[in-house]
Amino acid sequence: MKEIIQQKCVEFIHQVLNEVTKEELLQLDELETQIKRHSDSFIMDVLSHYLECVDEQIREDKAERKKQGLSVERKEDKREILTTFGSLKYLRTYYKDVKNQKHIYPVDQVAGLEGYERVSLNVSAALVNRAAEVSYQKSSKHITGGHVTRQTVKNKLRKVNRFKESPLRENKQVKTLYLVADEDHVALQDGKNTIVPLIVVYEGKEKISKGRYRCVNARYFGRYGIKTEELWYEVLDWIDQTYCYEKIEQIYIHGDGASWIKKGLEIIMKSKFVLDKYHIHKAVLRGTGAQPEFRDDIRQAIQAADKDMFTGNIQNLLLNATDQKEAKRIYELERYILHNWDGIEIKIKEDCGGCCAEGQVSHTLSERLSSRPMGWSREGLKKMVDVRIYIANKNRVEPEDLRKQVKQEPYVVQAIQRAKKKIGQIDPDRIGNIAVMQTGKVTPLYKWLKNIQKAEPYTS
């Protein structure tokens, strides 16, 4: 087996040299394409022979197999798996496990593959990351050229393990923290609607260009399928781990005044509620829809936190209302504003910062969950929310986030070690047979090949 791998190494170097030294003048992109093709093929060959080498070591260790109760049922069963380098094909041995009364492919354990898997964990992670932005079908097309089904992408998403949010920097000292809380309204497959809460913690805003600002050190929190109270406790724990809570003087919670948002005031110490500008504007538009001439006066009253001026304008609106529907909308505006009056007054009394709740929800959740007509299963929605939040926090789904922890049997570990030792005996001096090494000219290519020749062999 080691001779085969060694020969593949030599063939790969020859292929690269042939591409570089062709008489035809190739531009960089053309060379890049050709060499990558050879490189991917070479990697597939090495991986295939490595797995087959491990399989061979397991099969030849008859004493250990007998001890484990394994008997050979079939040899050279084909397996094909889609990887980031292309389609990996290898042969393996099928065993009957007498002790556990089942049939197994031990080398599939080495590859970390379950019986029905058709894509590697690297490809699976790439599919999930892309599916967080586009549909399952488009994710398959972008990552695998459409070689896997949308159901496969969906299955990969559902296998993602729960992410753990780590602190930005432990015991960081700040005087003020800002929280934005809002929710996205998402359609389910059963025809019902549900909400997905979102909370963003940040240290303030900084200007990046005219009319554009970004939240400083923003951290996103969102879950589906749990009580919002639990989400607030997650936020509290993270703040406590990241910042020196004793040094925090004030925390402002911006939102639309929903009961689940105000619940945060009970959980997040040193917090005050601020009614966000977007929902004020939305409520005023609805309440003054039939009488827009009162709109500016209503806004001025709210901006000045002048309750008498506000209620006076409400009475004028009601006097001029033409029907019960209009009156109902006016009463709703009055109730909404007065119920959240403390959240309006605070803007006059304190520098509580601005709010970007609607934009945060749109960018973080709605873009994928509700901006297009679709219905989510509860399980799929839960996983997608986890992934979207994780990516919003500048992370990527990695293979380990999908890996199922399986303890390797001792006989498999021993077979891996023997296979690595065997492969590690490959003689790099075979590279010396290449013509470029015999010319005596110290070219960049010569140096590159010489470094390969001097490289230490792998030892386990």
Query: pLDDT digits over 18-40, tens only?
Result: 888 887 877 888 888 989 999 99
Q: What is the mean pLDDT of residues 257-271?
A: 95
- DSSP strand pairing (205-209 vs 212-215): antiparallel
**What is the predicted pLDDT for the residue at 440?**
59
Phi-psi group of 194: left, alpha or beta (phi > 0 → left; psi -120 to 50 → alpha; rest → beta): beta
Rounded distance, CA 49 to CA 200, Å?
49
What's the whole-model pTM score?
0.83
The mean pLDDT of 223-228, rounded to a whole number, is 93
Cα→Cα distances 276→214, 358, 359, 398, Å: 17, 9, 12, 36
Q: Which residue has the higher pLDDT, 266 or 427?
A: 266
Secondary structure tally for the chain: helices H, strands E? 20, 10
User: What is the average per-residue pLDDT within 248-268?
Assistant: 95
Distance CA 113, CA 115 (A): 7
- pLDDT single digits (tens) 407-455: 788 888 898 998 888 887 766 555 555 555 555 566 666 666 666 555 5
* pLDDT at residue 458, as a whole number: 47
CA 253/CA 343 separation, integer angstroms = 9
Going by pLDDT thresholds of 50, 70 and 90, the confidence category of residue 353 is confident
> Residues near 266 by Cβ (< 8 Å), separated by ≥ 6?
none
